[in-house]
Amino acid sequence: MKINVSGHHVEITEGIKQSIESKFAKISKHYPSIMTLDSTITVEPHQQKLEVTTLYEGEKVTVNASDKKLYAAIAKVAKKLERALAHRKGVLSAKFHSKFVVPQTDMYQAAP
């Protein structure tokens, strides 16, 4: 999985890249069909924001998290992304396993 990290008002260091890669390593094992992960770090006064976007089974999945500390925001967004992907996977499997319903007609009812 390729992880694209970009920053807005922040310089992306090796430590930040390694932290993001280690947090999303589990997700890449659970969802091998994900090819790229785009993350944007935004720094505002007293707030670190992280937005992660990916494409999973034809749908765009985006999650956001913010915290006073950047590494806490990274952990939050990793949890949120895992939940969002699990939800999307459940929606897909529910559609796949939906049962065919036979329409009811009056043809089989007995005449009075």
State the pTM of this model.
0.76
In a domain, 109, yes or no: no
Contacts of 108 (CB under 8 A, 6+ apart): none
Long-range contacts of 1-6 (CB under 8 A, 24+ apart): 1/27, 1/28, 1/34, 1/35, 1/36, 1/37, 2/35, 2/36, 2/37, 3/36, 3/37, 3/39, 4/36, 4/37, 4/38, 4/39, 5/39, 5/41, 6/38, 6/39, 6/40, 6/41
Domains: count for the chain = 1
CATH of the domain at 19: 3.30.160.100
Give the structural domain span for 38.
2-97
In a domain, 112, yes or no: no
- What pLDDT is recorded for position 31? 87
Structure tokens at 38: 């785009």
In a domain, 69, yes or no: yes
One digit per residue, the tens of pLDDT, for the chain of length 112 reads: 899 999 988 899 999 999 999 999 888 888 888 899 999 999 999 999 999 999 988 889 999 999 999 999 999 999 999 999 988 887 767 666 666 666 666 655 555 5
In a domain, 106, yes or no: no
Structure tokens at 92: 């897909």
In a domain, 85, yes or no: yes
